[in-house]
Amino acid sequence: MTRPYVIDQMISAKTIAARVEDLASEIETAFAGTDKLIVVGLLRGSFVFIGDLVRELNLNVEVDFLEASSYGDGMESSREVRILKDLRGEIGGRDVLVVEDIVDTGFTLSHVVSLLKSREPRRLETIALLDKPSRREVEVKATWTGFEIPDEFVVGYGIDFAQRNRNLPFIGKVRFTD
């Protein structure tokens, strides 16, 4: 059972939509000429972001998913990254974009990038909706970032707290009321 909390809006749905459109334009330019871009969503938090992003991309895309966990139902990273679901397709020799919801300590993105690079893609880039550089413990930076945020626990737009609040259309800060 979680402590009582409220959610204060940090980033509106309209602001997110505009930024996703801008990011898609940058990605199209960067991957111009690719025959197909494999977009790898890191589950579960990125599912809303990846859906909106691929709809904005004017490229041939294939979508695949990888589920990695370093949080469980808690608010702090365990620093141990576990792969719960691997890719279905092959990425060797292909152009790959890894889509992450939030880069916090950096453990998950660093682990996933290392794992996927070992499979020898032609090109591998990363995008994160949110970045919390003040929490970084591992040297990693996404190629593209939607928003840099302060060290707040956030939910919404696919990001959860104990499997709740993923369906919020905005990014909100969790504020405990007790």
Q: Write out the catalytic residue numbers.
A: 104
Q: What is the DSSP string of 65-131?
A: EEEEES-TTSSS--S--EEEE--SS--TTSEEEEEEEEESSSHHHHHHHHHHHTT--SEEEEEEEEE
Spatial contact of 40 and 66, defined as CB atoms under 8 Å apart: yes
How many other β-carbons are positioned within 10 Å of the β-carbon of residue 30?
15
Written as six digits, the tokens of 68 are 């990695």
Written as six digits, the tokens of 178 are 């007790």
DSSP class of 136: -
Element (H or E) spanning 54, and its range? helix 47-56
| Bridge partners for 147 per DSSP | 130
